[in-house]
Amino acid sequence: MKSLRAIVVVSLMLFLSAVEADVPMPPIPIEPIYFEPPIVEASQQDKQLNCIDLDNTIRYLHPYRYTYKDKFYEDDTNTIAVTLITADSVPIVGGLLGLGYLTYSSLVEEKESRRMLNVEQQISMLQQLKSELHCFE
């Protein structure tokens, strides 16, 4: 039985290597796979602000720099979802509900991180404008 299994595995490996040799490699994507945030450019309206207005705009943006969503391991609903997946007390439905909520939770977390990154970029752009106006002197 073991020798038959070994013969099947070896022949499968030889077949796959022969198939690999005939098929050209697909092109490797050059585009980035991960999210790259857009660079925030200052608008004409932003460039017309004085130092006090820039300070006020930055001050009003600061609360949006932070997330108010619980982290993954601190969220009790994620614990319930994992329990539903593990226990699967209701056949099929329990596991799917848990997986669905975990997917939703991860999407919300990704959206929050992108939002916070966008606010950080806006704040850094406004700070750049402040430095160009010599507001720190």
Concatenated DSSP letters for 24-86?
A: PPPPPP-S-SS--PPPPPPPHHHHT--HHHHHHHHHHHGGGGS--SPPGGG-HHHHHHHHHHH
Quick one: pLDDT at residue 99? Answer: 79
CA neighbor of 119 nearest in space, from 46, 37, 45? 37
* Domain presence at residue 122: yes
Is the four-CA dihedral 87, 92, 94, 100 of positive or negative sign?
positive
Distance CA 136, CA 121 (A): 20
Distance CA 84, CA 100 (A): 11
Quick one: pLDDT at residue 108? Answer: 85
Q: Is the pTM above the cut of 0.75?
A: no
* Domain presence at residue 112: yes
State the residue range of the domain holding 98. Answer: 2-132
* Domain presence at residue 137: no
Mean pLDDT, the chain, as a whole number?
78
Residue 33's pLDDT band (cuts 50, 70, 90) = low
Q: Which amino acid is at 25?
A: M
* Domain presence at residue 26: yes
- Are 123 and 60 within 8 A, CB to CB? no
Number of folded domains that form the chain: 1
Quick one: pLDDT at residue 72? Answer: 78
Q: What is the mean pLDDT of residues 117-127?
A: 91
- Are 94 and 80 within 8 A, CB to CB? no
Using one digit for the tens of pLDDT, what is the confidence trace for 44-94? 888 888 989 999 999 999 998 988 888 878 888 888 887 777 776 666 665
